[in-house]
Structure 1
Amino acid sequence: MSNASECGNIDSGNSFLSLRVASVFIILLCGTSGALFPVLAARSKWLHVPKGLFDFAKYFGSGVIIATAFIHLLDPAMDELSSPCLAPEWQEYPYALALCLLSIMSIFIVELVTFRWGTAKLTKLGIHHDTHGHDIGSHAAHGPEGAGLPTSLQSKAVDDGSDEAELGQRSGHSRISHDDLESSTMKFISPETAAHILGIAILEFGVLLHSILIGLTLAVDPDFKVLFVVIIFHQTFEGLGLGSRLSTIELPGATRRLATLVPIVAALVYGIATPVGIAVGLGIRHTYNPGSATASIVSGVMDSLSAGVLVYTGLVELLAHEFLFNQEMVNASNGRLAYALVSMLCGCGIMALLGRWA
């Protein structure tokens, strides 16, 4: 087949139209369920999920995110930006890899600046900060209850922790309650917490871009049936990975209602992303050609940037912080560590296998 015919307009017409319309609602249900499950399991009292199952979902989702970056984003981006439909200049340089690298370094610089700015602010306020991740809001284990408080509050907390009989005799000195400590702590956000929130926001952005693009592709792809089945699993597993990250969001200073709503809304936004892409694709199915030069460039650039987002998030935010810098995992038994690793590898392996068909 000639390049001209390959790059010509492909009109999928009304083939499988009823199933394509149904896919909007099916994928909406699957993707939203996958993203909401870890969030609700971590924050609701009525959904009692064993810790082992929740840990499996968390580590399985981490593996899904990493496999998505390499198999479902970076590889298609390389194909799209080396398409014979593009000008010869696109063949002279690995633009997909360069854009992925640009994305990785940009996110690293943003997180570095955020961390340094936050640390400087805390130091200026006289707040103790442990750069190894033991203060409040860190990725790893939390430190003592008074960590992260201004020096004056820490001293007061220590002083008030002495013998209660003696404290009762001090007319002007009352014990600081746990609520007082918590309310004082919530006024400050540690650099780790700020970087953690930023990392999850970047992860959501990258996943949303990818989800909209695959929804658009699904709506117009001639090989709809196979792609549809694969994307159901893809969106469910990817939602599980994103939801496991959303479930760890901490919002110091926010009300309990807001802290609960933010991850739920983020999960719902993910759930509707692919259906929105499908709906748009159905609306332009007679004119949109996924193999055209313009479509290849847009998809390739977006997939490359999204791949960088997921590579950085998966390797740094998920693997490094969960396994290397998490004191709880460092001190965990060999059995628990093996369980976490196997869960992560299962997610990575299954998502990589799905790349055989999509």
Structure 2
Amino acid sequence: MRCAALIIVLAATVARAQSPTSTASPSTPSPTGQGECTWHNTHWDCELSVPAASAGSHDDHEHEAHGDSEHAASGTSAAPSTPSPTDRGACTWHISHWDCDKPATGSELGAEAAAAHGECIIHSGHVHGDCSAEQLACGAVLLEHYDMPLHIGSVFIILVTTAIGCFVPIITGWTRSNDRLTGALDASSFGRDVGFLGNLLFIARHFGTGIILATAFIHLLYHGFLMFNNKCLGELAYAPASPAIAMAAVMLTFLFDFFGGRTGHKRLEAAHAAGPSSSDSASADEEKNTHNHAHAHAPVFEGGCSHAEAAFRQEQDWQVLLLEAGILFHSIMIGVTLGAGSGPGWTTLLIVIVFHQFFEGAALGSRIALLYWISRMRALLMGIAFILITPIGVGIGIGVRKSFSQNGKTSILAIGILNSVSAGILMYTAFRLLSGDFTEGPLRRSKRSAVVASLLAMFTGLISMSILGKWA
């Protein structure tokens, strides 16, 4: 027994002599902020990796004497390059990013995280998808992934698709040349007796009304709000700037409409008093009651038309001009932002804008087609003005891409003002079209099938354009 005890004592003594970590005292204090640490011969082993700045403080001979791979990995770990995120629970630095209990959202995602979570689409100062802080920086000019051939190709893509959307209804209207005598291009003309092209034009007309209404609210007024609430613009002296501008545009459009119609009506009265035609045998009261399109069914002769018909034509001309003005105002900026933009989400934006312009072209073209009394040259010029405006904007954007910032103050103000003005014009015009077709127009007395078809077409346009508002 004595021999066994002696052997145990001797073994313990030898073990203590061979274990320098248990007897050597720490040459440096225990690191803070790295969890529980244990002194190991010449350095501390901690639960968390040693930052590069801390690791660099060790002497070179300590690294050489300690060549195991675990210590080498901890000595090369990067220090936190960004502060710990707030409102995301407990966070731990992991080589190049923070691991937190709650996931990152919005601008908290870095460029790598944005690529992993989805596309970043920056369009006219507002954002769809996951974007990095660098992409959202005020005044930043983003030229990464800029594909010049595709940008140039987008000019022709938009040109062709917009031309198809705009010219198909116009040409369809030309094929209805006999309707100059029958008045079959009326808003209530629908059914077997009208034929396929007549029904197609009827659907396009009311589909376009829904497109115009959704464009005013979803694409223009909402984005006007976003522009003036952009943090890069700073605090506004008058917060509701976008609706105020839209309201001013509505009132200006109303004044133009009122005084323009008043002046035109006086001219028609003077011409009627100078030489009334035989078709104007109706009394003044009857003409007043039939002014709201009911008299549009009166026949049109080579030598002229009735007074009520002339007033109706003038009113329709003016409405289409207002509609085109509202569309042109914002189409130029759509082109500029597309031409100057880039990034992984740019292709998605191009596809959305192509559909956007196609639908708007169909809405405008269907209204131009109903002006069956104007010359074909004038109809072509009205369509060409819309078809060219967005490609011209894309060309301008390509030219100024190195200096154009979608989050710059100048571009935010320009886009916000133009969007709000266009929203006001299109809101006024859209409700005038609804009133002229439904509440005060021929659909009020039309057959049920025409009413159902027109409402379905209008709501289809409304929903289609509203869905596109998710991206553009």
Q: TM-score range by the shorter chain?
A: 0.7 to 0.9
Say yes or no: does 1:210 pair with 2:330: yes
Structure 1 residues 325 and 298, CA, compared in 2 at 3 Å: closer, same or farther?
same
Which AA in structure 1 matches 2:435?
A
Return the offset for 1:354.
Answer: 0.5
Say yes or no: does 1:279 pair with 2:425: no
| TM-score, length basis structure 1 | 0.80
Which AA in structure 2 matches 1:271?
I
Distance 2:134 2:294 in 1: 53
Say yes or no: does 1:343 pair with 2:457: yes
Partner residue, 1:142: 296
Say yes or no: does 1:234 pair with 2:360: no
> What are the residue-to-residue correspondences of 1:104-119 with 2, within 5 Å?
104-119=250-265
Partner residue, 1:288: 404
Which AA in structure 2 matches 1:108?
F
CA contact (8 A) 2:250 2:428 kept: yes
Structure 1 residues 50 and 44, CA, compared in 2 at 3 Å: closer, same or farther?
closer
CA contact (8 A) 1:35 1:239 kept: yes
Structure 1 residues 184 and 23, CA, compared in 2 at 3 Å: closer, same or farther?
closer
Partner residue, 1:18: 149
SS in 1 for 2:137: helix
Structure 1 residues 140 and 86, CA, compared in 2 at 3 Å: closer, same or farther?
farther
Return the offset for 1:107.
Answer: 1.0
Which AA in structure 2 matches 1:294?
T
Say yes or no: does 1:247 pair with 2:369: yes
Partner residue, 2:140: 9
Distance 2:401 2:135 in 1: 20
Which ranges in structure 2 are unaligned for 5 or more consecutive residues?
1-106, 108-132, 178-194
Partner residue, 2:316: 196
Distance 2:393 2:171 in 1: 26
Structure 1 residues 4 and 88, CA, compared in 2 at 3 Å: closer, same or farther?
farther
Residue deviations 1:288-334, cap 9 Å, x none?
A: 00110110001100110001111111111x2110112223x222211
> What are the residue-to-residue correspondences of 1:293-312 with 2, within 5 Å?
293-312=409-428
Partner residue, 2:225: 78
Return the offset for 1:8.
Answer: 2.4
Structure 1 residues 192 and 104, CA, compared in 2 at 3 Å: closer, same or farther?
farther
Return the offset for 1:286.
Answer: 1.1
Q: Looking at secondary structure, tell me which structure has more helix per residue.
A: 1
| TM-score, length basis structure 2 | 0.61
Distance 2:227 2:172 in 1: 39
Q: Looking at secondary structure, tell me which structure has more strand per residue.
A: 2
Distance 1:73 1:32 in 2: 22
Partner residue, 1:330: 444
Structure 1 residues 3 and 72, CA, compared in 2 at 3 Å: closer, same or farther?
same
Which AA in structure 1 matches 2:157?
I
Q: Paired residues, what number?
A: 311
CA contact (8 A) 2:298 2:309 kept: no
Return the offset for 1:56.
Answer: 1.0
Distance 1:111 1:53 in 2: 29
SS in 1 for 2:231: coil
Structure 1 residues 283 and 4, CA, compared in 2 at 3 Å: closer, same or farther?
closer
Residue deviations 1:2-57, cap 9 Å, x none?
A: 799621222325622221111110110001110111111001369x9522222111
Return the offset for 1:184.
Answer: 4.2
Return the offset for 1:122.
Answer: 3.3
Say yes or no: does 1:220 pair with 2:340: yes
Partner residue, 1:149: none
Partner residue, 1:269: 385
Which deviates further from its counterpart, 212-221 or 307-316?
Answer: 212-221
Distance 1:340 1:313 in 2: 18
Residue deviations 1:135-188, cap 9 Å, x none?
A: 5xx64552545xxxxxxxxxxxxxxxxxxxxxxxxxxxxxxxx85xx4143899
Return the offset for 1:265.
Answer: 1.4
Structure 1 residues 94 and 3, CA, compared in 2 at 3 Å: closer, same or farther?
farther
CA contact (8 A) 2:176 2:198 kept: no
Structure 1 residues 142 and 275, CA, compared in 2 at 3 Å: closer, same or farther?
same
Distance 1:110 1:8 in 2: 38
Say what the alpha-carbon RMSD is for the aligned residues.
2.6
Structure 1 residues 349 and 273, CA, compared in 2 at 3 Å: closer, same or farther?
same
Distance 2:340 2:329 in 1: 18
Among 165, 172, 181, the residue aligned to 1:41 = 172
CA contact (8 A) 2:214 2:466 kept: yes
Return the offset for 1:115.
Answer: 2.2
Which ranges in structure 1 are unaligned for 5 or more consecutive residues?
146-177, 252-257
Distance 2:134 2:235 in 1: 13
Partner residue, 1:57: 204
SS in 1 for 2:163: helix
Return the offset for 1:224.
Answer: 0.6
